[in-house]
Amino acid sequence: QKEVEQDPGPLSVPEGAIVSLNCTYSNSAFQYFMWYRQYSRKGPELLMYTYSSGNKEDGRFTAQVDKSSKYISLFIRDSQPSDSATYLCAMSPYTGANSKLTFGKGITLSVRP
Amino acid sequence: GAVVSQHPSWVICKSGTSVKIECRSLDFQATTMFWYRQFPKQSLMLMATSNEGSKATYEQGVEKDKFLINHASLTLSTLTVTSAHPEDSSFYICSAAYSGGLDSYNEQFFGPGTRLTVL
């Protein structure tokens, strides 16, 4: 079993839809949970991070962590064509400049106008 | 702020040659730099972690003699793929992080990646 599993894609939704992206993990040491967005042939950019369990909202994006179920989600409200990208979840057991990230496989989202 | 650049953005080389990829933090001093490899439709796989002035720490299964990492300064790390083979063709991405800051989370800032094709 891989440490981080991400729902397979690709995912195609109409503009304005609510998108739910999910990851599960097996390592109970993970404390920091991140969502990255990656456009084609570009490096990932951090969308949101969450420490431990709970919800965090930033504009149209909401990150949710359920440590008891080892399950994290990213919700995108009112999705836009500009949200079309690959979304990767990432996790780390601690923070600090040396903290290693374990990534999910990524899911490609396409938002149709 | 927090911009990381990579050079070159793409490179094509012949089998058996060596290729050097540079990673620079443009507006901050990076305590640590990371090198990742990403195959098509696959996740980022960490290859090694490097701290300025120290030897890199390689992940299990990554050949340190093949992937030479030098972290000469707080703003520059290089990855040299030695004796490249077609199976080394991949997207190589670096990231940089720094200690401290007001936030409790030390973000890794990613470069735009380098696409290596070995013929």
| Mean pLDDT value across residues B95-108 | 71
| Mean pLDDT value across residues B86-115 | 84
Tell me, what's the pLDDT at B105?
Answer: 62
Mark B8-26 as b/e (b = at least 16 C-beta within 10 Å). eeebebeeeeebebbbbbe
pLDDT digits (tens, 9 = 90+) for A20-44: 999 999 999 999 999 999 998 888 9
Tell me, what's the pLDDT at A80?
Answer: 97
Interface test with B, best of A30, A100, A105 (most B CBs within 10 A): A100
Tell me, what's the pLDDT at B95?
Answer: 94
Q: Which residue has the tokens 């800032």?
A: B109
Between these two residues, B67 and B51, which has the higher pLDDT value?
Answer: B67
pLDDT digits (tens, 9 = 90+) for A77-90: 999 999 999 999 99
- Distance between CA atoms of residues A2 and B12, nearest Å: 32
- Distance between CA atoms of residues B30 and B32, nearest Å: 5
Average pLDDT of chain B to the nearest whole number: 90
- B49–A98 C-beta distance less than 8 A: yes
| Mean pLDDT value across residues A53-80 | 94
Residues on chain A touching B32 (C-beta within 8 angstroms) = 97-98
Name the pLDDT band for B51 (thresholds 50, 70, 90).
Answer: confident
Residues on chain B touching A44 (C-beta within 8 angstroms) = 44, 93, 110
Tell me, what's the pLDDT at B90?
Answer: 95
- Distance between CA atoms of residues A35 and A58, nearest Å: 12
- Distance between CA atoms of residues A88 and A48, nearest Å: 11
Q: What are phi and psi of A4, to 5 degrees?
A: -130, 125
Least confident span in A66-80, B29-43, B78-92: B29-43
What percentage of chain B has pLDDT greater than the value 90? 69
Nearest-CB residue to A95 (from B49, B104, B115): B104
pLDDT digits (tens, 9 = 90+) for A90-110: 999 887 777 889 999 999 999
Q: Do residues B23 and B114 make contact, with C-beta atoms less than 8 angstroms apart?
A: no
- B98–A105 C-beta distance less than 8 A: no
pLDDT digits (tens, 9 = 90+) for A6-25: 988 899 999 999 999 999 99
- A44–B44 C-beta distance less than 8 A: yes
Name the pLDDT band for B60 (thresholds 50, 70, 90).
Answer: very high
| Mean pLDDT value across residues B33-52 | 90
- A100 — contact with chain B (CB < 8 Å)? yes
- Distance between CA atoms of residues A12 and A25, nearest Å: 24
Residues on chain A touching B97 (C-beta within 8 angstroms) = 97-99
Q: Do residues B16 and B118 make contact, with C-beta atoms less than 8 angstroms apart?
A: no
Mark B56-78 as b/e (b = at least 16 C-beta within 10 Å). bbbeeebeeeebbbebeebbbbb
Tell me, what's the pLDDT at A8?
Answer: 80
